[in-house]
Amino acid sequence: MKKVILLSGSPNKVGNTVQIMQECEKVIKNQGLETEIISLAGKSIHSCVGCRKCKEIKRCTIDDGLNEILEKVKEAEGFIIGAPVHFGTARGDLMNTIQRIGMVSYGTDRFLSWKVGGPIAVGRRGGLSTAYNEMLMFYFINEMIVPGSTYWNIVFGKEPGEALKDTEGLNTVKRFSENVAKLITKIHN
């Protein structure tokens, strides 16, 4: 069965980002695909040190849980990432995670190519579009395919649970998730 990994970059186990990912997961499951939510809550993912050893050993040298996430992404056809906005940008640990996955893919067989997905930014008020654009850079340099929606994937909310009340944001990311699933079904035989 085709699979989509949904990575929540929030430090909160039951915060807005995870809750939004759960809504996206339901939509993807309804389209007949398998899903798995991975949360960075409780994890501490280091930034890339640029050693380039991944070229030889086909994984990352830093042993902090990144390789386990990477293996799951490698096996899936879809990869959606969600980040809370911190000081106008996507949370650092989420960027650390995708930059290291990108580096291993880049240095090896470019396993990210043709995976379908995209970013979702969650925040209280400012910097959501910046964070969204920032995360998009990862997708396009890695030859990934990002479907659109009826708006950009930004959802507003501060306290846990508030993001689910942003009806327009929620509908946007649900439509996006449906498009991810449909596209995977069409292009991955």
Ligand X SMILES: Cc1cc2nc3c(=O)[nH]c(=O)nc-3n(C[C@H](O)[C@H](O)[C@H](O)COP(=O)(O)O)c2cc1C
Residues contributing to the site for ligand X (CB under 6 A): 10, 12, 15-17, 84-88, 122-127, 157-158, 160, 163
Closest-by-Cβ residue to ligand X is 15
Closest to ligand X by CB, 10 or 153? 10
d(CA 154, CA 120) in angstroms, rounded, equals 6
d(CA 124, CA 59) in angstroms, rounded, equals 36
Consecutive H or E run containing 102:
helix 92-107
Closest to ligand X by CB, 7 or 103? 7
Radius of gyration of the chain (CA): 15
Closest to ligand X by CB, 15 or 118? 15
Closest to ligand X by CB, 33 or 152? 152
- Min dist. Cβ of residue 84 to ligand X (A): 3
- Min dist. Cβ of residue 20 to ligand X (A): 8
Please say whether the beta carbons of 39 and 112 come within 8 A. Answer: no
d(CA 85, CA 9) in angstroms, rounded, equals 10
